[in-house]
Structures are given as C-alpha cells and as structure tokens.
Amino acid sequence: MFEKIRVTTGIPYLDALTQGGFIKGTTNLVIGPAGAGKTILGLHFLLEGAHRNENGLLIAMQEPPWAIRRDASNFSFFDHKYFVEPEKVLMLDFTPSGWELWDPDSLTYTDESEMMIDAEGVPYDETSLPTFLHRIFYHISQVVEEKKIERVVIDPLAAFQFYDYGNDFGFLRKITTGFLVNIAALNVTTVAISEFPGGMDYSKYGEEYITDSIINLDMLSVRGEMIRVLRISKMRGTNHSTKTLRFAITNNGISFLDPEND
C-alpha cells in the first residue's frame, strides 16, 4: 500500500477540509482571478514549510520576488528571516525582467543535461517556450537538490503566455505536462498558480487535468460587497469538502469566516 503523507498548507482550516493538507509529492493547482489571494495562499504554504524546517522555493514568473516580499511584509505569518541566508524560502526570478533570464551565466547548462521537453515539430530556438522551460527546469532542479527543497510554488504558470503558439493546444498541453511532471519527479510538493483567461472555464494548457488537486478562489459581488470564496474542486485520493466556503484576507493572511458553521 502507498502511504499518503500530508503536507500542511499553512492554513489550518484548509488542512481540516482535506484530511491534513496536500499529499506529499503531488502537484496542486490554485486558480482564480487577479486579486483572489493565490499568491498569498502560496506564501502561507512556503512559510509553513519554513516553520517546519522544510525548505521552499518560489518560482516567480510574473511579479518579481522583491515585489512579492514587499506586498507580503505586513502579514503576521510572514517572516523576513526565512528569506535571508541561510534561506528557508528561496525565490528565483524568472519574470521577463528577472536576473536569471538576463544573466547568461545563471542559465548555463551542459549538453549532457537531460532534454526534458520534446520540441518535436516546433523550431527549437533560443526564444522558444521549450528552450525557456528547459533552462528554467534545469536551474530549478539544481536548486532543489543543492538546497534540499521540499516545497515549490510556481507563480504563475501563465508566464507561458509570453510565448505565442496560437491555438496549438496540443503542443501547449504537452509541454505544460512535461514541465509539471518533471518538477514532481524532483520529489517535491508543488503549488502551481494559474489564471484562466476571462470567460473560459477551462485552461489553454490543460493544467487542471495534470494536477492532483484544484483549489478555486473567487470573488463574488453580493449586494455591492465583495465576498471571497474557496472551493476544492478536485483532490485525488482525498475525501475533501465540496462546499463553497467564505474566507477573508486580513493582516493574518487567509482565514475562514466562522468555520464551525459552514
């Protein structure tokens, strides 16, 4: 029998809804519109790891690490000590302005490094998405090994949109699968953040089919007031809550309103 080890999320009520959190070694998708609380959820997960002496890695693809730290600095659960030597939470800047992309030395990889994404049929040039993903995956795999990383947050996967493959969904799904499966093979527990384009209830990259769980965050307007809700729409191997639950973001981060009565 496989033993399911649970990895706590840093949000106690979310753990209670999911038999103790994410299953160790799985890839977990957090989706929702801009401002829904996705990045904050990812930070709860990483800081929780830091408290437990489990090292974390944030792969910043859109908002640069310094801005994420600045915005999170007021949260009671956020502790800057984990972000300085010897870091318990590492951040890699893969934003379009990020140093990892502009510093050629930081991206060197050897010819022996395994080609993780098959770019069959697609020009394999310096500016292609497979090349980008291959390089960042290689970089990530080294950091995970060197720093003994157990928790990874990818914020967000939508960086794939910087590359235009039109409507070649098959190709986009294939490389998204390759990327996420290869990260999972590093033996880490991953939170992948994603925004579905407006009006679409399925993604371009098929990440909802690949990942082991999906947490939907949403904002509703009820009588002129913004209400935040969370729903676990999928969690493989878990008897999870199926309710739509109200939550709030306060100086303590994400907390559930009146969890006993939901």
Ligand X SMILES: Nc1ncnc2c1ncn2[C@@H]1O[C@H](COP(=O)(O)OP(=O)(O)O)[C@@H](O)[C@H]1O
Residues contributing to the site for ligand X (CB under 6 A): 32, 34-40, 74, 249-251
Query: In angstroms, what is the minimal distance from the CB of 123 to ligand X?
Result: 33
Minimum CB distance to Mg ion smaller for 107 or for 229: 229
Q: Is 112 left (phi over 0), alpha (psi -120 to 50) or beta?
A: alpha
Minimum CB distance to ligand X smaller for 75 or for 82: 75
Residue in the block written with tokens 């925004």? 195
The answer to whether the peptide bond before residue 86 is cis (omega within 30 degrees of 0) is yes
Which element (helix H / strand E) includes 189? strand 189-194
Q: Out of ligand X, Mg ion, none, which partner does residue 53 contact, by CB within 5 to 8 A per kind? A: none
Backbone angles phi, psi at 180, to 5 degrees: -70, -40
Q: Which amino acid is at 25?
A: G
Q: Which burial class, exposed, middle or buried, applies to 136 when counting CB atoms under 10 A from its CB (0-12, 13-18, 19+)?
A: buried
Minimum CB distance to ligand X smaller for 83 or for 138: 83
Check binding of 39 to Mg ion (CB under 5 A): yes
**Token pair in block for residue 118:** 């098959």
Query: In angstroms, what is the minimal distance from the CB of 186 to ligand X?
Result: 24
Q: Out of Mg ion, ligand X, none, which partner does residue 133 contact, by CB within 5 to 8 A per kind? A: none
CB neighbours of 21 closer than 8 A, spacing ≥ 6?
6, 7, 8, 9, 14, 15
Q: Out of Mg ion, ligand X, none, which partner does residue 227 contact, by CB within 5 to 8 A per kind? A: none
Question: How many chain residues bind Mg ion (CB under 5 A)?
Answer: 2
Query: In angstroms, what is the minimal distance from the CB of 251 to ligand X?
Result: 5
Q: Out of ligand X, Mg ion, none, which partner does residue 107 contact, by CB within 5 to 8 A per kind? A: none
Minimum CB distance to Mg ion smaller for 56 or for 178: 56
Binding mask 193-232 for Mg ion (x = CB under 5 A): ----------------------------------------
Residue in the block written with tokens 């910087």? 162
- Crossing angle for the helix pair 65-72 and 38-51, to the nearest 10 degrees: 80
Query: In angstroms, what is the minimal distance from the CB of 39 to Mg ion?
Result: 3
Query: In angstroms, what is the minimal distance from the CB of 136 to ligand X?
Result: 20
Question: Which DSSP string corresponds to 59-108?
Answer: EESSS-HHHHHHHHTTSTT--GGGGSSS-SEEEEE-STT-HHHH-GGGG-
Query: In angstroms, what is the minimal distance from the CB of 220 to ligand X?
Result: 14
Q: Out of Mg ion, ligand X, none, which partner does residue 238 contact, by CB within 5 to 8 A per kind? A: none
Interaction site with Mg ion (CB under 5 A): 38-39
